[in-house]
Amino acid sequence: MAGSGQDAALSLDALREQIAELQLPQIAHGRRAIILFEGPDGAGKKAALKQIAAAFDPCHFAVHSTGYDRREASEGHWLARFWRQLPSAGRTAIFYRSWYRRVLDDRILGRTAEESIPRAFDEINEFEVQQRDYGTLLLKLYFTVDAEVQQRRLAEHSNSSWRNMSDRDEAIRVDDPRYSRAFDDLMAHSNTRWSPWRKIDGNDEAAASIAALEAIADAWSTAMPSEPPHLIGASGRVA
């Protein structure tokens, strides 16, 4: 076990260094990027987020933690708050939970009417294709977890009074039939050609962090130019 833990640490070190290097052309070329962390409580999202935050230059990314917004109805369209959080040139916006809460948690907890779900998916898909058309890289990570692992982790969390805040929603269990239905609809209606989901197995947190960083490295390697802007300009190729 000690050996495997050491191997995971070495893999994470190498991936963080690779991602730090891949961020440089993003900054130089002014490319925008968005990363979504979705999935149920206890699926290892926070562990992976910490690794990614350690890889990126902190001057060029922001993390937005998305919870239920009780003011939403008074602020216009429900996507308005996300428009305000979109990244500027050369920066990355990381959403720890995202606009998908509307068709996951809020739907399961009865805060989104069932008849509005098809429209919500349409609006999400339109929103995401607009980001793509504007040249923004969008990477969607969905962390999955088995019911037994989730139950154990949630029990561990409940032992901390700091994690047990009274204003937090009760954790949605993956063995809840309502979750299964919402998850199936999510994959059926938002796993699009222009914005596919990348599933991350969160049963092993170290392996999940490695998989998440590999997904980011792959996406950045494909999307970001490989040469400095002045070289691309001199050769006449488009960045």
Least reliable range by pLDDT among 2-6, 49-53, 98-102, 210-214: 2-6
Q: Which helix (H) or strand (E) holds 201?
A: strand 197-201
Check whether 2 has a pLDDT greater than 70: no
> What pLDDT, in 10s, does the model give residues 219-235?
999 999 988 886 555 44
> What pLDDT, in 10s, does the model give residues 166-175?
556 788 999 9
Q: Are strands 92-96 and 197-201 parallel, antiparallel or unpaired?
A: unpaired
Residues of the chain with pLDDT > 90, as a percent, come to 78
Measured CA distances, 197 to 115, 157, 183, 212 (Å): 24, 27, 12, 12
Helices (H), 30-172: 45-55, 80-83, 105-108, 117-133, 147-158
**Arithmetic mean of pLDDT, 16-40:** 97
Residue 127 · residue 197 · CB < 8 Å? no
> What pLDDT, in 10s, does the model give residues 167-206?
567 889 999 999 999 999 999 999 999 999 999 999 999 9
Check whether 162 has a pLDDT greater than 90: no
> What pLDDT, in 10s, does the model give residues 64-88?
999 887 665 556 789 999 999 999 9
The pTM assigned to this predicted structure is 0.90
> Which among 101, 96, 73 has a CA at the least distance from the CA of 85?
96
**Arithmetic mean of pLDDT, 120-143:** 97
Q: How far apart are CA 29 and CA 23, in angstroms?
A: 10
Instruction: State the chain's mean pLDDT as an integer.
Output: 90
Residues of the chain with pLDDT > 70, as a percent, come to 88
Residue 105 CB coordination number (10 Å): 22
Domain boundaries, the chain: 15-232
Residue 99 · residue 124 · CB < 8 Å? yes
CATH topology of domain 15-232: Rossmann fold (3.40.50)
Going by pLDDT thresholds of 50, 70 and 90, the confidence category of residue 164 is low
Measured CA distances, 213 to 49, 73, 137, 186 (Å): 9, 36, 15, 23
**Arithmetic mean of pLDDT, 134-158:** 95
